[in-house]
Amino acid sequence: MRVLVTGGAGFIGGNLAESLVRAGHDVTAVDNLDPYYDTGIKQRAVDAAAAAAEDGAGSYEFVEGDVRNAALIDELVGDAAVVYHQAAQAGVRTSVDDPRKPNAINVDGTLNVLDAARETEIERVVLASSSSVYGKPEYLPYDENHPTTPVSPYGVSKLAADQYARVYHEVYGLPTVSLRYFTVYGPRMRPNMAISNFVSRCLNGEPPVVYGDGTQTRDFTYVDDVVGVNRQLLRDDAADGEILNVGSTDTIDIRSLAELIRDELAPDLEIEYAAAREADAEHTHADVGKARALLGYDPSTTIREGVREFIRWYRANRDWYEPLVLRS
C-alpha cells in the first residue's frame, strides 16, 4: 500500500514510517526538519526507514517539505492510499511563548491535508491528536466525551485539528480517524522530555529534577503501542469518523517516575525539586474503552517495562543521543 506520513522524521512519525516500510509498504515521509529539537534525531529516523527499505521490505522516499505548503501536500496526498498526519508543532510551553506558530502548522497544515484528501479516493486520513485537548480534568480517566477545555495554545490547536477531521468526515464523507495520544515515549523521543532527562541525569550521577511537587500524574504510552494502533488503521474502517483515546491505561506520578528511573540507575541519588512549569497539565489518564471496542486496542507495555526498554536503547545510543539531551 502507498502511504504518506507527514512529520515522518519526527518521533512518532519516524517510528511509524520505519515500521510500515518493514511491513512491506511503500512509504513517503514529508517533514520540514524544524529545529524545534535537534535535527540529528530526525535524521536518524530517516536513516532507519531508509535502511529498512534497503533490507528488501517496502520502499521509502523522504521529502523535505512543510504541511503549510498546500501545493506540495496536494501532490503528495494525491499519490497515497492512506495518510498518517503526524506533523505538528509540538510543545505546550513553546506554544505559550508563540501561539501563532502551532496554529499555522497544526490547524492550517491539517486543513491542507484534509482539503487535499477530499479531492481524491483516499482510503483514510489518520490524524495525530493529543490528550492536551482535555485540559483540567472534571473526572478521570478522560473518555472522549470529557469536556475539552485546553489550558495551552497547543491544546487549542490540536482540538481544532481533530474537530476539523470529524467535520470533514461528516460533511464531505472523508474517512478520518483522530487519535488522542497520551504522553508517548520511547526510542528517539524528544530529548527535552521528563523520561529522557531523568535517565540522562542519573547516568551522569546527577539527581533527577522534578518540576512542581511531583504529584502530577501522567498516562505514559510506549511508542510501539501507538505504532500498532496506527498500523491497524491501514485497512480497518471500524473507527472511520471517530475520535479515540490512545493511552496506556496506566498512570504514574512524576515523583514515582523519577524514583523508578533513579532506582534502576543510581539508587543513592536524592530527588530534587524545582518550580512548576506554566501550562503543564496536572493529571492525564486515558479511558481507552472506545478504542478497545472498535479496534481491539490493548496496550501491552507497562511503564516499568517501557522505561527499562528505553534505558537499554539510551545506553546503546548514548554517544549521539545524550549530548542532545544535555543541550535541551
- Annotated catalytic residues are 154
Residue keyed to cell 545506553: 315
* C-alpha grid cell, residue 23: 511491513
Element at 181 (helix H, strand E): strand 176-181
Q: What are phi and psi of 225, to 5 degrees?
A: -65, -40
Residue type for position 182: F
DSSP string, 222-250: EHHHHHHHHHHTTT--TTTTEEEEE--S-
Helix (H) or strand (E) holding 312: helix 303-316
CA distance 89 to 286: 22
Neighbouring C-alpha atoms within 13 Å toward the C-beta of 137: 17
List the one residue out of 90, 65, 47, 71 whose CA is nearest residue 5: 65
Give the integer Cα–Cα distance in Å for 307 and 71.
41
Q: Which amino acid is at 180?
A: R
Cell of 24: 512491506
User: Which residue, chain included where needed, has cell 530529548?
Assistant: 191
- Burial bucket for residue 270 (CB in 10 Å: 0-12, 13-18, 19+): exposed
Rounded-to-integer distance, Cα 99 and Cα 95, Å? 5
Amino acid at 16: L
